[in-house]
Amino acid sequence: MTTMRSREGDSRWTVETATSDLRDRIRANEFRKPDGVQGQLPPASALGQQYDLSRNAINRVIAKLRGEGLLETRPGTRGATVRDWAPLVYLPQQEFEAETGPAGDLLTRLVEAVARKGESRIDQVTGEPVDERIANKLGLKPGEYVGVRRRTSIVDGVPAMTDDSYVPLRLVDGTDWMTPGNVARGTNKVLAELGHELVRAVDELRPRFTTEVENERLGLGAGGSVHAIELISTGFDRDDMPVQVTVLTLPGPRNTVVYERHRPEAEVTE
């Protein structure tokens, strides 16, 4: 049954409004089969008739939803297939839990806890002049260099978030932190070995849209920006020195950020 929203007056469907409507229909399980398995969308020609859009415009709609992880296309099939893919629940407070062994990486712990498959794709490890925003958080001067690790976290085959870390290069130059590729024991462990164990973090969150560079890394396609949460986490060592800034871009359709808070226990008085 088609439950697309009607357009009032002379308002016509656009790629953006059709994408939003079809996204809502997918999330409402309109295309789920009677046995509970996700089914397929109607062929592009039928969707074009429903939304009064050209074949090219419908292909752009499907590409956007595929980039969000809601659809997949398979050779030899008519219509895109709806994916059973739930957003990753991201728990920043787990960063300071056990950081040793194969599960020392936060992404690994998050996906293993819910029996999902995760991997980190290292996009770049480099040294570069620090920009103003990162310099202010690390207490660096203009022109100083930072070590940078840019990676993309992939969950069940879908790029879930970008994860970029910045550390003063003088602290990590020539160490495993600058290793091209994944560091088995975790880069936070490397910082601890260098005398800069992270013991406190300040997290800042702000909503924005993904950039074109992030769209490419996240498989969203050119012009495929979606709403996202930017989480900027500044980590401090035991001397309360800012050591690392990590900038995560978490697309809204692919992530839910959850913070757990506890009321401090009241002091016992005689």
Kindly report, residue by residue over 62-78, the tens digit of the pLDDT: 988 887 778 887 776 77
Are 116 and 249 found together in one domain?
yes
Q: Domain of 36: which CATH number?
A: 1.10.10.10
Are 191 and 151 found together in one domain?
yes
Residue 102 pLDDT: 43
Are 54 and 129 found together in one domain?
no
Q: Give the CA distances from residue 188 to residues 12, 50, 100, 191, in Å, rounded to whole numbers and listed in that order.
A: 52, 52, 10, 5
Kindly report, residue by residue over 161-179, the tens digit of the pLDDT: 999 999 999 999 999 999 9
Q: Which of 53, 82, 111 is the last residue of a domain?
A: 82
Residue 126 pLDDT: 98
Q: Which of 82, 99, 130 is the last residue of a domain?
A: 82
CA 12 – CA 52 distance, rounded (Å): 8
Q: Higher-confidence residue: 266 or 15? A: 15
Residue 9 placed within a domain? no
Are 170 and 72 found together in one domain?
no
Domain count, the chain: 2
Domain of residue 238: give its range: 88-257
Mean pLDDT of the chain: 85
Report residue 130's pLDDT band, with 50, 70 and 90 as the boundaries: very high
Are 233 and 130 found together in one domain?
yes
Q: Give the CA distances from residue 191 to residues 52, 204, 219, 235, in Å, rounded to whole numbers and listed in that order.
A: 56, 22, 31, 11
DSSP β-bridge partners for residue 192? none
The sign of the CA dihedral 184, 138, 259, 119 is: negative
Are 141 and 193 found together in one domain?
yes
Residue 265 placed within a domain? no
Q: Which of 56, 82, 108 is the last residue of a domain?
A: 82
Rounded CA Rg of the chain: 22
Residue 69 placed within a domain? yes
Are 189 and 231 found together in one domain?
yes
